Structure 1
Amino acid sequence: MSRYLPVLTILAGIVVVWYLGAYFMNAPFQRNLNERTGTETTFTEFVGQTMSQPKPTLPAPHQVAVNFFENTFLRKVTSGRSLVYHSWVTLSSTLLGFLFGTVLGILIAVGIVHVLALDRSLMPWIIASQTIPILALAPMIVVVLAAVGLTGLIPKALISTYLSFFPVAVGMVKGLRSPETAYLDLMHTYNASRANVFWKLRLPASVPFLFASMKVAVAASLVGAIVGELPTGAVAGIGAKLLGGAYYSQTIDIFAALVAGSVVAVLLVTTVGAVGRMTERAMGVRPA
């Protein structure tokens, strides 16, 4: 229990601050409404009114929890109001973009480590590419791909790829270069080829770095998929749910969609971490 106490304490603090924020941000509207309707309330009743507005400025935690529960467990998964349905739409482009980004990042890292010209020329451009705001780049990707007839899943996946390949590339470069000089000299003493050094020394040494970077990449891929849904005019997905909530001032729906996105991110990162631990155990790595 002591292991989870700090986390629970911080969580309780967040909930308390959230309730206070909901009261102070919703109070002006509620006070104005009561004055116009001539309603007189006690302080307790007034607080309850600020926590039960249908379109609050900041929804209370229990409002978000009820909305999340109803739209997750009480809706058919094929329903347009189901958060499971919207999460699956976003997840599909997330996984495809994550796959593309992981493969691209590994290939770039292998090239950088083994080709000096790529190390000096490509790496600065890779770093510079991440300085471009994804919100500015996403509409350009969507428009260009639509001009050549590519719409739907592929543009969102490529936006996810753009965000996810970078941590994989950087992590793999670090991992492939992690073997100590003594081990590399020993392989050279055995007259090992570059291919043998790669497969028997560099690649096994890079596995912990790879999965650590993949946990960052899969979360970035989810962000890319959500952002990619905004300029495409998507009618399904977490991004579309956020956009629809913003159009109609459904702040409770917006926060519930954000919670759904957070749950998906936690599941993805946990899955990648579990696969990483299983892979390391299969390679004979002792758990820390």
Structure 2
Amino acid sequence: MLRRLAEGRALPIVIVVAAIVAIWYAFTVYLNAPWQLGVYERSDTEWTAADLVRDTLAQERPVLPAPHQVLAEMWRTTVGVSPTSRRSLLYHTWITLSSTLLGFAIGTALGVLLAVGIVHNRAMDKSVMPWVIASQTIPILAIAPMIVVVLNAIGLTGLLPKALISTYLSFFPVVVGMVKGLRSPEVIQLDLMRTYNASTAQTFWKLRWPSAVPYLFTSMKVAVAISLVGAIVGELPTGAVAGLGARLLAGSYYGQTVQIWSALFMAAALAAVLVALVGLGHRMALARMGVRP
């Protein structure tokens, strides 16, 4: 078994993960030690190095929680409570996931439509594309509160404002990827379609779109991950009481660093699952098109 592990791709991953965990534990002891030493000093307690390590890894509100504390918190808030409870991390994950998927869907559709217009219309290429690029120079933390306030003023609350923030972030990689993909056919291929007297629509569906599909799914992997970031950021200025962003805020207000890290780990796991699902869709689409891996 060890030999198969060494011959495969899993061994480097295991080594890197083990190194990260070891470094994490070392920094946990280092960062939590000053507080623990103060506790010993105030209580006039005799202690050893083993006591210090044990106690720094078991603090209730550590500066940096240990990995086992984060995993225990995730287990307690996922398995130990009902998924519909507001104390459940799964409940908060579902709230954030809803905004993420809606924003990702809108952003992908908008990105594809803009890319088609940019490729087929010279005026849009010269006017819209620079604005698309310029839009990403505005920090999302600055624009998110304005989006929320404006939409609340016109009566739009709840899921949509957070989804639009996700849309703002996710449409950009789709636009860039699709423009590159739709322009990827070579000149000789376009000339061949003109030789066949193909219409613009036929050229698009028979040549440009199949060529752009790999670019689309690659950009969607980036878009779905950044859409999750947008959903979390969108929950921060709204005073939301549900969602991973609200979980992060509550943890920072009350100094619950273990809660903060468990929410971060759940967000990372959710992003990995979403990217994996897009990758699965990518492989299925290529297989349907007859492309061999």
Q: Give the alignment's TM-score, normalised by structure 2.
A: 0.97
Match of 1:45 among 48, 51, 76: 51
Question: What are the residue-to-residue correspondences of 1:69-148 with 2, within 5 Å?
Answer: 69-148=75-154
2:49 partner amino acid: F
CA deviations over 1:209-252 (Å, ceiling 9, x no partner): 00000000000100000000000111010000000000000000
Residue identity opposite 2:46 in structure 1: E
CA drift of 1:3 comes to 0.6
Task: Please tell me the residue identity of whatever aligns with 1:41.
Answer: W
Correspondent of 1:179 among 179, 185, 197:
185
- How many Å separate the matches in 2 of 1:4 and 1:129? 40
In structure 1, the partner of 2:281 is 275
What residue in structure 1 maps to residue 165 of structure 2?
159
Q: Does 1:7 align with 2:21?
A: no
Q: Does 1:262 align with 2:241?
A: no
Selected match of 2:233 from 216, 221, 227 = 227
Separation (CA, whole Å) in 2 of partners of 1:259 and 1:33? 30
Tell me, in whole angstroms, the C-alpha distance in 2 between the residues paired with 1:205 and 1:107. Answer: 16
1:18 aligns with 2:24: yes
Q: Matched residues in 2 for 1:98 and 1:211: separation?
A: 13
Counterpart AA for 1:169? V
Letter in 1 for 2:154: V
Cα deviation for residue 276 of structure 1 reads 1.1
TM superposition shift of 1:4: 1.2
Q: 2:72 & 2:111 partners in 1: Cα distance? A: 41
Question: Which of 259, 272, 284 does residue 253 from structure 1 map onto?
Answer: 259
Runs ≥4 residues deviating over 3 A: none
Distance 1:39 1:60 in 2: 23
Q: Which residue of the partner structure matches residue 208 of structure 1?
A: 214
| Whole-angstrom CA distance in 2 between matches of 1:274 and 1:132 | 32
Gaps of 5+ in 1: none
After superposition, the C-alpha distances for 1:56-83 in whole angstroms (9 at most, x for unaligned) are: 0000111101111111112100111111
Amino acid of the structure 2 residue aligned with 1:173? V
Cα distance between partner residues in 1 of 2:248 and 2:86: 13
Corresponding letter in the other structure for 2:207: L
Q: Deviations over 1:79-136 (max 9, x none)?
A: 1111111100000000000000000000000000000011111111111110111011
Q: How many residues align?
A: 287
Distance 2:46 2:132 in 1: 62
Structure 2 regions of 5+ residues with no counterpart? Answer: none
Name 1:149's counterpart in structure 2.
155
* Separation (CA, whole Å) in 2 of partners of 1:201 and 1:238: 42
Percent identical among aligned pairs is: 63
Structure 1 residue 41 displacement after superposition: 1.2
Q: 1:92 and 1:176 mapped to 2: Cα distance? A: 30
Q: Please report how far the alpha carbon of residue 8 of structure 1 lies from its aligned counterpart in structure 2 after TM superposition.
A: 1.3
Q: Which residue, 188, 200, 204 being the options, matches 1:198?
A: 204
Counterpart Cα distance in 2 of 1:75 and 1:260: 16
Q: Normalising by the residue count of structure 1, what TM-score does the alignment of the two structures yield?
A: 0.99
Which letter maps to 2:193?
M
In structure 2, distance between residues paired with 1:80 and 1:161: 26
One-letter amino acid of the structure 1 residue matched with residue 16 of structure 2: I
